[in-house]
Each structure stands twice: as structure tokens, then as C-alpha cells.
Structure 1
Amino acid sequence: MARSSRRRTDHVQPLKLAAETARSRSSFEIYDTTLRDGAQSEDVSFSADDKVLVAQKLDELGVDFIEGGWPGANPKDIEFFRQVKTVPLKHATVVAFGSTRKASNSVKKDPNIQALLAAETGTITIFGKSWPLHVTDALGISLSKNLELIGDSIEYLRSKGRQVFYDAEHFFDGYKMDPDYALATLRRAVEAGAQRIILCDTNGGTMPWEVRDICRSVRQTLDVPLGIHAHNDCEMAVANSIMALETGVRQVQGTINGIGERCGNANLCSILPNLQLKMRQPVLGEGMSRLREVSHFVAEIANLIPDKHQPYVGDAAFAHKGGVHIHAVQKNPATYEHVRPESVGNRQRFLVSDYGGRSGLLAKAEAFGISLDRDHAKVPELVAILKDRENAGYQYEGAEGSFELLVRTALGTHKPSFRLLGFRVIVEQSEGDQGPRSEATVMVQVGQDIEHTAAIGKGPVNALDHALRKALEKFYPELREVRLLDYKVRVLTASQGTDAKVRVLIESGDHKEKWGTVGVSENIMEASWQALADGIEYKLLRRDRPPSDPG
């Protein structure tokens, strides 16, 4: 990877050839396109401020290039390039992205080309057509005219002192249709001065062995360093990227968490650890330990729920549920973990379930700071309780707050902070009302005191939550810190229709941590009460022991 040894003092850096800037930890360059291609994902919309925050995180992670957006496409990207000039990035180079000129414009009068220059980045990536189908059907021009667009655009940008990367859009499809013309587009780009040629699997339909063979063929034709840009429409983007790098391709492009148009782009959260931990290429160095942090940061900024099953960085990536697995991992993590979780900033987790048996129970109890050996008299009882409750529909994998309360209650080390005497929830809808009104009444006992309160809410569970807090906050002021973060309902016996048993999972949190609780009943309000009450009890339990990660 090209690494600059000095802090940038000017947003537009002097042009440097790849061979002259090879102060690299690895022979590979990491090119992130989260802020451009990733932003084209369904349900993702970054503001200019969001993009600056993500760019800073990517720089801290250690990527080489950050594709910031298409300055000729929208005002938001123009604003990003204006703002990012004031941000002192320590490592990464910000890149502007756009297309070759339009056939009807000269380069000097093409708005897209001029917008790329106005972004004032030292490096510019432009894309052009390498598939005859797109040249004739999409652009409606001749094959020779397309070569002219590629050459004119790159030559002009190079004359303005910019480093130029050329994205050969739909290259693999183009090569399979007409290899001579596809290669001719690349040669024209190189002749015009492009310093990287990126081979794009834009439709995401190429297989790994095709990528291997085509990349080898291109490398025999061109001397300029190559890149790979893969989409995930066949679930092959990561495999295709790794395969290309194995053939000698130097630059890999992708996005954090694999977000992108349609089925997404090549996922850097898989590619980067595969390169560093499997192929022994130190692409991030110590920055690899921040990979999970960056993955979750981008998901949060994009307002996406992190994929818990994502390799390397997902919550479930190093989670163990089966008792045999847990028992083995406690002896030697290598028995069921292909890398150390800490190497990518993740952690080992033991899930509580009826599959885990005694080993899972003891591992989770240890995580909670509960001293419990295998021969403890209560262990068989606790295993039996756990299996019975999971058979009844309870699930503790996402509700470990409820599980800790269950264990401590069975061991006799937890005394409930309050007792429910009764609750009532009313939902009323009158003609002409804009929406139904919800009101909850709760009666609880704390010590010798009985508190009877009522509250309204946006829905029945919200009203019940408000009423419970209102009743208890005078006794326990710290409950004012607690917020209900997530509420999920799962129907367990769908064939029974509205008589079905439901499981309610609630995630609560304060300014320090988050915890999950669960309730199960044929009555959704009863299930919700169980989960809400456990959430309160768990918060109060935390006063009696040092904070630790319940997960």
C-alpha cells in the first residue's frame, strides 16, 4: 500500500507514481468506496456530516483511499469535499469519483469533468464503458467514439496534475463478449495516463475461476497496476476479490459491511482480515483490532442494524451455543475458532440455551461473576429450569439480563426490589380520534410501601413502561437513566392464531451499558410485563456488583 510519511498540508497532493510511493506494509492497496458505492445501498443515506465522520474512522482504520462521492451528481457530495479539506487525515487519500465526458461535450465544457476538478482531490477515479453492449445500447455511440471519451477524459485530468484511476465498468462481462475490445479500452486508458486500471464486475455475475483467468490475461497485456471492484449479486464478491489479488492484482475496492447497490459490494470487513490473518499480508497492521468498531460505527451512522452473523465482526462470529463446543473452547479456543476474536476487535461469547447444558451454564455464570463449580448442588436444578423454560418458549441468547436474574434467584442471592400487586391497561378509540389512547395503571409493593400509579403512552406497552417507572422512581431514582431501546415480539405458535403464545424481547440501556430481558405468555401484555420488570430488576441488580459485560 502506498503510504505517505508526512501529514497532508494541502488537500491537492502532488502527483506521485505508484512505484515512487511504495512505502508499504503490504503489496496491496485498500480502496474504500463506502461513501459512494455504499451510499447507493437501499435504506442508506449519508449526510455530508455523516460522510466526514465515516471518512475519519476509515482513516483511523488504515485504508489507503477513500472514495468520497460523485461531486457532479448532487450538492451533498460537493459539500462533503468542501468539508473534508479541513480534516487532517493522517493516512488515507480522499478520491473524487465520476464518469468520462459525455459524447456531446468537450472535456473543457463537460460539467462532470469540471466538478471533479473543483473537488480539489489529488486523485480522481473515473469510469468508462468496456462492454460493447453498454457502448451501443446504453450510450448509443460507436465503439471508436467510446475509446475517444476514455482517452480525452484521462488525458485532460492528468494535464491538470491529478493522479487518475480508471474503473473499467462491466469489464468481465465485456471481456467475455469481446475480449479484444475490452482490452482495447484498457490500453486506451493506459496510453492516456491512467495509473491504476480497476477491473469491475459491475453486475456481480462472474465466477471466481473466470476472474482468475481474465485477470491473468489482463496482467500479461498491461504493465500498469490493476485493481478489482466486485459486486455481490452471486455472493461471490469477497471470493472474486481474493482470487484477483492472488493473480497479482494490487488494489482491492470494497465497502464496510458490504453495503452497496442491489446485493452490495465486496465486504472489506471480510477481505481485510482474510488478507492479514490468512494470507499474511499486513494491510492494516495494528488497525485490524479496530475492524469491528468501524463496522458497527458505519452501521450506526447508516442507521442499519448490524448483522450479528457477519464473519469476523458480527456478534455471533465467535459465539458458542452447543455444550460440546463450549466445553472444548474453554480448554482451547482453537478447537472452534479459526482466529482470535481480539485480532479483529471482537470477543468470545457463550450463549445460554438448552443446547449448552452444564458447560454453557457455568461459562455464562462465570461471565456474570457468579462463583459456581460443576459439582455445585444447584447446577442440575438450574440446568433443568433452563431446559423447561426454553421448552416453554423462553430464549436467553438475547436476554441474558433475565438469565442472570434467574440464576441468582435460584441460588438465593437475589431479592426482588419490588412486587407486583396488579396492573391494568386500557386502549380506547373513539370516533373522530386520530389514534387510539393507551393508559396503564400499576400497583406495586416496595418494602412495606404500596404505590399505585397511572400513566399514558403511545401504545399499551409504552404506557405500562411509563406507569412502572412512575411507581418505582421515587424509591429508586437511578431508574430515570434507563431507556427502552428495542422491543420485539415473536409469535411462537402461529397455527393458534390470536390465541398464540408470544415471546417478547426487550433491550434496555443506560449511559453505561445495554441489557436484554424476555417474557413469554399467551397474553402479549403479560409477556411484556415480564420483560419490562426484569429490565428494571436488572438495572437495580447492577448496584450490587461491579459493571461487567453480560454478553
Structure 2
Amino acid sequence: MRILTFDTTLRDGTQGENVSYSVDDKLSIAMKLDDLGIDYIEGGWPGSNPKDKEFFARAKGLKLHHARMTAFGSTRLARNPVEKDASVNALVEAETPAVAIFGKSWDLHVHRALGITEDENLKLISETVAYLKKFGREVIYDAEHWFDGFKANPSYALQTLEAAAKAGADALVLCDTNGGTLPHQLAEIVLEVRKRFDKIVGIHCHNDSDVAVANTLAAVECGATHVQGCMNGYGERCGNANLASVIANLELKLGHTTIGVEKLGQLTQVCRYLAELANLPLANNQPYVGKSAFAHKGGVHVSAILKDSSTYEHIDPKATGNRQRVLLSDLSGRGNIIYKLEERGLGEKLSPEARRELLERIKDLEYEGYDLEAAEGTFELLVREALRPSAHLFDVTNYEVATRSTPSGKSATTASVIIKMMDGETLSASALGDGPVNSLDLSLRQCLSHRYPEIAQVRLTDYKVRVLDSKPGTASKVRVLVEWSDFKRSWATVGVSENIIEASFKAMCDALRLELMRLHDSTEDLDAALKDYSWGV
């Protein structure tokens, strides 16, 4: 069955905490959603704020190939005739092919929020719908608080839908606005609505009981053919139904058609794009599209997916544009190492004993607090050292850091580093930098650049510190994750210590040691095998 998709990320989604898009962001997202195959894009409320007003003015120039741009608003105010209601006329002026308006379904809201009679509320609904239909708009009526209203007064709640339907509403959308309805309750109520109305029935769920996606699917099973939600589950309080999960479930589990299987492969990329523009991390454990959705860590699981991925994966990750990942940690078994080596064409390059030693080293490091899931550079270094055990290019003999205050009130930090190269030569350097990490970086780089001028191309691009155990207070063990780039590729290395400077220096040494090994062991087969730096992330 064809199920219509209605995305409200740009309206309801922006009501979520920390979710904010500029007008340019919203226009870009609209094009992305259109390309994905979404049927309706709710762009905002043109009568409520300058940003949405500008968005709809500029959206008139968008060349959408599939989606119908939709403006959102409410029924007229009780004190205004519909033709003089500013909010309603803002919907007309937005010139979108579809409009979505919400009205009150719950008699509690009619009396307490609006302060009018039940009959007056019915007039608000019918007159607003009829007025918008005069302008040739497709009208989607959102029955706010529908399920709470039906539970409290089913007869009146149904009258509100009747008012919208008789006035010409094209779709009747049942809203679980407070997110408190459970799937079995929702299903019974949707079935009752389907018995009474031939119109398109839609569903709009919030996630306050953590069942918004389940509720949406239950509604479809009971006859709803229009689903609303936000990508990544954005939205007020606990969010709206995650439209990405709804789409994937409808297509892959229930056999319905939404955006189509051929478009489904774009789902992961679109969700990550929206998260990037919102400046929010996409939840790793988000179903179907999250980084961890098809990640395997336990040795038993990895051993099984090596034989048949369906043993621990409910779908092919490629169906939604995601990918399978195998993580390395203290939970790793031989299967994890075999998977990683064979995945990169290195299966025959390490003996069983070398594989076992590599696994034990990984487990020991994880026990100490190293996180190789995020530090793909450190893992690559471990593999290269296992493949080339004699290629230990340098050791740090000594390093010192000193910070002093200056008359200007600023601090000055000097670092000195002494290293011993593999051939026995000793090199030393000192540098003045902006803090201990920068000073050590400059000193170490000066030492190595005498022999390897290419090392000057490596740059530190990000630096993160995490306290691993808070009980000892300032003596806590910390983990430092450092990201690097040589302008062609990027990687991360990790260091752990009770001393934040030592942890940082360990990560720094590993990053530069790795780059030197790449230069030293620039063999075609090894470079090709290690070109994807996503082994542990």
C-alpha cells in the first residue's frame, strides 16, 4: 500500500531543545528531503516569526520535483472573522500547494485554553478549512490532542473531525500531542475513526512514552495512510516519531511503499546531513542509520556474522545506506581480528600466533582505558607494528615541559624533547608554544623533521579529553583523543595516563610514529589495505 510521508523536521523538529536551523539551512534541507522522495515538507509557521516568513518567501523559488511544500498554522482566533485573521491569511500568502492547520479536539482545551463553547470551536475548524479550500489549497487538518480528547469525550472529538471533513479537509491527522498513548489504545481509536470517515487518515505521534514509531506503525496497520514525523526524532520534549525509522519499517518490514526502495539507500546520508546542519551528533544507536546500528563488538557475534551476517543483523545495512562495522575492544575475539585483517586483504600476512598477540595487546590497552573504537590511527599502528615488528622508528628518551607567567599576565610554555632513532642517532629540540601540547608538538616535530621533512605536513585538528575515573579527583586517569590530518587523509590516536600531558604526548607520538611507518613502509599492498581509516570507528 502507498503510504504518504509528511516531514515536519523544519517546523515541529525545530521546537526540540538545541535544534536550530537558519533559513539557508532550511532551504537546503527541503531540497534534500525532496530528493529523498518525501511527499510533504512542512516548512514552518509563516504567521509566527520572521524566520519562517522569510523561508516561505524564498521557498517560492525552490524547484521541488516531488514534495509538496506545506505551511503550518492554526484555526482562526475566536475573536476574528476568518477572512481577517492574520495567521490564516499568512498561510494563504505563503502560496504553498498544501497547508496544515491544527484545531482543538479535547473539550478540556476548548474550555480552558480557548475559553469558548464547544460549538464555537467547531465553527473555528469548519470556517478555517473552508476558507483555505477557496484558494485551492490542499488542507491537512491536524486534530491536536486527538487521543486525549477521544478518551475524555469521544462524541465531541469525533464531531471536530466531522467539522473538518464536511468543510473539505483532504486529510484528517490524529495527533498524540502529549505522547502518552500506548499502541494498543491507539490502535483501537484509529480503527474507530476509520469506520466513520472515508478521508485520508493520518497519524502524528510524539515520543514521550518512547513508543512514537510503534504507535505510527500501529496506526498504519489500522488503516492510516499518511504518516508524520521528524528525521532523527527531533521535536519538543522527547521528540516526534522518527520518520527515518518509520519509513524503513514500512518499506522493509511491512511491505508498504513510501519513498521507494531505490531511494531508501539515501536515508543514512540524509539523517547525517540534517544532524550536521543542526550541529548535533547523530545518535550512534539510532536504528537503521546510526553509526552503531550494525556494529558488532562481542567475539561470539563477530564469529557468527563472518559465517552469515543475518545471524546478528535484521536487514542488510546497505538497504538504508549504512554499513556493517566490527569494533575492537576487550570484548573482541579472534573473529574480530580475522574480520579486520581479511576485510583489508591482510588475512595471510599475520600468523595465528601474531593474531593472538595482537588481540591480547588490544585487550590489555582497552583494560588500561584506551578506546580503539574511536582511535583508528592507534589501531592501524598496532597492525603495522605486528606486520613489521622490527620497524620501531624512534623512542622518546626524555621530555620536559615548563610553564611560567609573564609580566603581561599571559603564560609562556617551553618544551624540550630528546629522541633516539632506530639507527641509534639521538636528536633533540626545544620550542616555545601556546601551552604544553602545542610546545611538545613543535619540539617533537623539529626533532623528526631533520630526517623526515614530510612530517611537517601533519597537523593536529582536534583534541578531546575524558576523565575515566572521577574518584581520585585531580589524580584521575584521563584519556586523550587527538585527531590528525596530512591534508590527504585524517586519523585519530589515543593516549591514557593519570597525567594529562603524558596522555597527550603518548597520542602525539603514536600519530607521528604512524605517519613515519607509512613513509617507511610505503608498499602498495599495505597502503591499499589500510587506506580506509574506519577500522575502529
TM-score normalised by structure 2 residue count? 0.91
CA distance in structure 2 between the partners assigned to 1:429 and 1:204 by the alignment: 57
Asked whether the 8 Å contact 2:467–2:476 carries over to 1, the reply is no
* Residue equivalent to 2:293: 317
CA distance in structure 1 between the partners assigned to 2:108 and 2:72 by the alignment: 23
How much has 1:441 moved relative to structure 2?
A: 1.8
Distance 1:486 1:439, change over 3 A: same
- The answer to whether structure 1 residue 109 and structure 2 residue 93 are counterparts is no
Asked whether the 8 Å contact 2:26–2:55 carries over to 1, the reply is yes
- The answer to whether structure 1 residue 488 and structure 2 residue 472 are counterparts is no
Distance 1:169 1:425, change over 3 A: farther
CA distance in structure 1 between the partners assigned to 2:249 and 2:318 by the alignment: 15
1:357 to 333, 347, 354: 333
Asked whether the 8 Å contact 1:440–1:456 carries over to 2, the reply is yes
The amino acid across from 1:392 in the alignment is: E
List aligned pairs for 1:171-186, cutoff 5 A: 171-186=146-161
The amino acid across from 1:297 in the alignment is: Y
How much has 1:455 moved relative to structure 2?
A: 4.1
CA distance in structure 1 between the partners assigned to 2:489 and 2:231 by the alignment: 25
1:454 to 431, 448, 458: 431
2:180 to 193, 202, 205: 205
Count of residue correspondences = 522
How much has 1:510 moved relative to structure 2?
A: 5.7
Greater shift after overlay, 386-395 or 99-108?
386-395
- The answer to whether structure 1 residue 407 and structure 2 residue 383 are counterparts is yes
Asked whether the 8 Å contact 1:367–1:549 carries over to 2, the reply is no
The amino acid across from 2:380 in the alignment is: E
Unaligned runs of 5+ in 2: none
* Residue equivalent to 1:19: none
* Residue equivalent to 1:21: none
- The answer to whether structure 1 residue 65 and structure 2 residue 49 are counterparts is no
Asked whether the 8 Å contact 1:353–1:360 carries over to 2, the reply is no
The amino acid across from 1:287 in the alignment is: K
* Residue equivalent to 2:413: 439
Asked whether the 8 Å contact 1:365–1:404 carries over to 2, the reply is no
Asked whether the 8 Å contact 1:442–1:471 carries over to 2, the reply is no
Distance 1:149 1:333, change over 3 A: same
How much has 1:382 moved relative to structure 2?
A: 1.9
* Residue equivalent to 2:118: 143
Q: Report the 3-state secondary structure (helix = DSSP H, G, I; strand = E; otherwise coil) of the residue aligned with 1:443.
A: strand
The amino acid across from 1:487 in the alignment is: K
The amino acid across from 2:342 in the alignment is: E
CA distance in structure 1 between the partners assigned to 2:228 and 2:442 by the alignment: 49
1:506 to 482, 485, 508: 482
State the Cα deviation string for residues 345-366 of structure 1 (Å, max 9, x = none). Answer: 1111111112212111222233
Asked whether the 8 Å contact 2:174–2:204 carries over to 1, the reply is yes
* Residue equivalent to 1:162: 137
How much has 1:92 moved relative to structure 2?
A: 1.1
* Residue equivalent to 2:314: 338
CA distance in structure 1 between the partners assigned to 2:343 and 2:128 by the alignment: 60
- The answer to whether structure 1 residue 129 and structure 2 residue 104 are counterparts is yes
CA distance in structure 2 between the partners assigned to 1:210 and 1:269 by the alignment: 24
CA distance in structure 1 between the partners assigned to 2:257 and 2:152 by the alignment: 37
* Residue equivalent to 2:197: 222
How much has 1:112 moved relative to structure 2?
A: 0.8
State the Cα deviation string for residues 508-543 of structure 1 (Å, max 9, x = none). Answer: 446555433211111111111112332344455555
- The answer to whether structure 1 residue 306 and structure 2 residue 282 are counterparts is yes
How much has 1:469 moved relative to structure 2?
A: 5.3
The amino acid across from 1:33 in the alignment is: T
Distance 1:248 1:523, change over 3 A: same
The amino acid across from 1:405 in the alignment is: L
CA distance in structure 2 between the partners assigned to 1:445 and 1:486 by the alignment: 24
Distance 1:519 1:70, change over 3 A: same
Asked whether the 8 Å contact 2:377–2:533 carries over to 1, the reply is no
List aligned pairs for 1:407-426, cutoff 5 A: 407-412=383-388, 415=391, 419-426=395-402
Asked whether the 8 Å contact 1:152–1:192 carries over to 2, the reply is yes
* Residue equivalent to 2:367: 391
State the Cα deviation string for residues 261-317 of structure 1 (Å, max 9, x = none). Answer: 110010012111111111122322211111110111010000001111111111111
CA distance in structure 2 between the partners assigned to 1:398 and 1:212 by the alignment: 43
State the Cα deviation string for residues 2-46 of structure 1 (Å, max 9, x = none). Answer: xxxxxxxxxxxxxxxxxxxxxxxx510011111111111101110
CA distance in structure 1 between the partners assigned to 2:514 and 2:500 by the alignment: 21
Asked whether the 8 Å contact 1:438–1:460 carries over to 2, the reply is no
TM-score normalised by structure 1 residue count? 0.89
The amino acid across from 2:178 in the alignment is: N
Asked whether the 8 Å contact 2:14–2:20 carries over to 1, the reply is yes
2:7 to 29, 32, 35: 32
CA distance in structure 1 between the partners assigned to 2:227 and 2:390 by the alignment: 54
The amino acid across from 2:65 in the alignment is: K
CA distance in structure 1 between the partners assigned to 2:51 and 2:294 by the alignment: 38
State the Cα deviation string for residues 390-418 of structure 1 (Å, max 9, x = none). Answer: 22222212212211211221332684565
State the Cα deviation string for residues 70-104 of structure 1 (Å, max 9, x = none). Answer: 11111111121122222212211111111111111
RMSD of Structure 2 on Structure 1 (CA): 2.4
Distance 1:104 1:39, change over 3 A: same
State the Cα deviation string for residues 138-190 of structure 1 (Å, max 9, x = none). Answer: 12222111111111111111111111101111100000000111111111011
Unaligned runs of 5+ in 1: 1-25
Distance 1:186 1:437, change over 3 A: farther
How much has 1:440 moved relative to structure 2?
A: 4.6
* Residue equivalent to 1:550: 534
Distance 1:361 1:123, change over 3 A: same
Asked whether the 8 Å contact 2:415–2:436 carries over to 1, the reply is no
CA distance in structure 1 between the partners assigned to 2:449 and 2:309 by the alignment: 44
Q: Report the 3-state secondary structure (helix = DSSP H, G, I; strand = E; otherwise coil) of the residue aligned with 2:472.
A: helix
* Residue equivalent to 1:231: 206
Asked whether the 8 Å contact 2:75–2:103 carries over to 1, the reply is yes
State the Cα deviation string for residues 426-446 of structure 1 (Å, max 9, x = none). Answer: 45567994xx63635242558
State the Cα deviation string for residues 174-218 of structure 1 (Å, max 9, x = none). Answer: 000001111111110111111011100011000001110000001
Q: Report the 3-state secondary structure (helix = DSSP H, G, I; strand = E; otherwise coil) of the residue aligned with 1:408.
A: helix
How much has 1:254 moved relative to structure 2?
A: 0.6
* Residue equivalent to 1:22: none
Q: Report the 3-state secondary structure (helix = DSSP H, G, I; strand = E; otherwise coil) of the residue aligned with 2:502.
A: helix
Q: Report the 3-state secondary structure (helix = DSSP H, G, I; strand = E; otherwise coil) of the residue aligned with 1:234.
A: coil
CA distance in structure 2 between the partners assigned to 1:473 and 1:31 by the alignment: 57
CA distance in structure 2 between the partners assigned to 1:34 and 1:42 by the alignment: 13
Distance 1:153 1:530, change over 3 A: same
* Residue equivalent to 1:290: 266
Asked whether the 8 Å contact 1:400–1:550 carries over to 2, the reply is yes
The amino acid across from 2:152 in the alignment is: M
State the Cα deviation string for residues 216-235 of structure 1 (Å, max 9, x = none). Answer: 00111111101100000010
The amino acid across from 1:411 in the alignment is: L
* Residue equivalent to 2:238: 263
Identity %: 46
How much has 1:381 moved relative to structure 2?
A: 1.9
CA distance in structure 2 between the partners assigned to 1:108 and 1:373 by the alignment: 78
Distance 1:78 1:416, change over 3 A: farther
CA distance in structure 2 between the partners assigned to 1:125 and 1:451 by the alignment: 70
How much has 1:484 moved relative to structure 2?
A: 2.2
Q: Report the 3-state secondary structure (helix = DSSP H, G, I; strand = E; otherwise coil) of the residue aligned with 1:378.
A: helix
Asked whether the 8 Å contact 1:368–1:404 carries over to 2, the reply is no
CA distance in structure 1 between the partners assigned to 2:315 and 2:228 by the alignment: 24
Distance 1:218 1:427, change over 3 A: farther
